[in-house]
Amino acid sequence: MKSKKLFILLGLLRVVALVAACGAQPAAAPQQSAGGDSAAGAKPYIPVISKGFQHQFWQAVKQGSEQAAKDLNVDITFEGPGSESEVDKQIEMLQTALDKKPAAICFAALDSKAAVPLLEKAKAANIPVVGFDSGVDSDIPVATAATDNIAAAAYAADKMAELVGEGEVAIIAHDQTSRTGIDRVKGFTDQIAAKYPNIKIVDTQYGAGDPQKSTDIVKAVIAAHPNLKGYFGANEGSMKGVMNGVKEMGKEGQIVMIGYDAGKQLKDEIRAGTVAGAITQDPVGIGYKCVEAAVKAIKGETVEKNIDTGFKWYDKSNVDSEEMKPLLYD
């Protein structure tokens, strides 16, 4: 009898234990905090979305943004489409970044209008957006870290006028949708129109920053305008097209070439005297300043709306100077 009672008691205890186990709440999953952090106290996450990777300019911007992330104790990713014509790919990257609920976003727009709907989503989610290199047609970005491209291109126009005196010149730029493409063409064109009546811009074309496409365009323009005296290339890829096109058409020494940005080929031809000179930005500074502004915005600090990262003119006289060394990349 005692053994039977014991057996019944043990059975009841098992039932009670089973019921308790079934009623227990599962362990809570880790809460993901704002900014894409997976644990309290983790670093804020800031995706940095550039216009591409095909030029060394973007690698220099990447270097600056990574240094800022290290100095300011934040996590970043740096990415961009394979070429500066892939607007849809860049928009896809922006959507993916938003889905991660970052603390802020740094964004260099390929198309100054196409990104606006997603930037409005960022604003609605209280995610600060900082533009860099290229702004957007919106007041949503809390700041934009960039060269004053209109002023820089106007300076290039002054140099062109100084060197050609009068006659026909042409422009090739990377696009007519980004702020850099729009502003560099505008700065050069407006300056020539306002100050140099004896100089005529006979052609403005766009090569998507692709060296081969830009080369083909330049050759066609030179063939159509045999008296051309000057050519302005508005970014690294465009300027490669100018240098290659002028050489392939046998016009070296006859057409004044002025560029924008840097790169090994451009620096080598400036050293050789075949290219008159170029405007350089501060790509490392652009990368640093955009992340720095994003961190300030995350903290609720005041951020300057337009962060001018400056520009310099370089030619054979200073291409290898200590002053220019940090601003020129291969």
Are 193 and 199 within 8 A, CB to CB? no
Detail the DSSP E strand segments found in 99-140.
105-107, 129-132
Dihedrals phi, psi of 24, to nearest 5 degrees:
-70, 145
CATH architecture of 149-280: 3-Layer(aba) Sandwich (3.40)
The answer to whether domain 45-146+283-310 and domain 149-280 are alike in fold is: yes
pLDDT (tens digit, 9 = 90+) per residue, 56-115?
899 999 999 999 999 999 999 999 999 889 999 999 999 999 999 999 999 999 998 999
- Return the pLDDT at 97: 98
- Return the pLDDT at 137: 80
Lowest mean pLDDT among 46-55, 164-173, 236-245: 46-55
Q: Report how far Cα 151 is from the mean position of its chain's Cα atoms.
A: 19
Quickly state the pLDDT bin for 53 (edges 50, 70, 90): confident
What count of residues does the chain have?
330
Are 49 and 132 within 8 A, CB to CB? no
Per DSSP bridges, beta strands 105-107 and 45-49 are parallel
- For the cut 60, the answer to whether the pLDDT of residue 179 exceeds it is yes
H or E stretch at 205 = strand 199-206
Q: Which amino acid is at 307?
A: I
pLDDT (tens digit, 9 = 90+) per residue, 121-172?
999 999 999 999 988 888 999 999 999 999 999 999 999 999 999 999 999 9
Mean pLDDT of 28-33: 34
Quickly state the pLDDT bin for 7 (edges 50, 70, 90): very low
d(Cα 71, Cα 281) in Å, to the nearest integer?
Answer: 22
Helix, strand, or coil here: 248? Answer: helix
Token pair recorded at residue 123? 């604003």
71-105 burial code (b ≥16 CB/10 A, e <16):
ebebbbbbebbebbbbbeebbebbeebbeeebbbb
Angular region, 256: left φ>0, alpha ψ -120 to 50, beta rest: beta
- Return the pLDDT at 15: 39
d(Cα 145, Cα 306) in Å, to the nearest integer?
Answer: 6
- Return the pLDDT at 136: 84
Where in the chain are the domains? 45-146+283-310, 149-280
Within 10 Å of residue 128's Cβ, how many Cβ atoms?
Answer: 25
Residues 6 or more apart whose Cβ sits within 8 Å of residue 1: none
- Return the pLDDT at 39: 47
Detail the DSSP E strand segments found in 62-175.
75-79, 105-107, 129-132, 143-146, 167-173
Superfamily holding 45-146+283-310: Response regulator (3.40.50.2300)
- For the cut 80, the answer to whether the pLDDT of residue 11 exceeds it is no
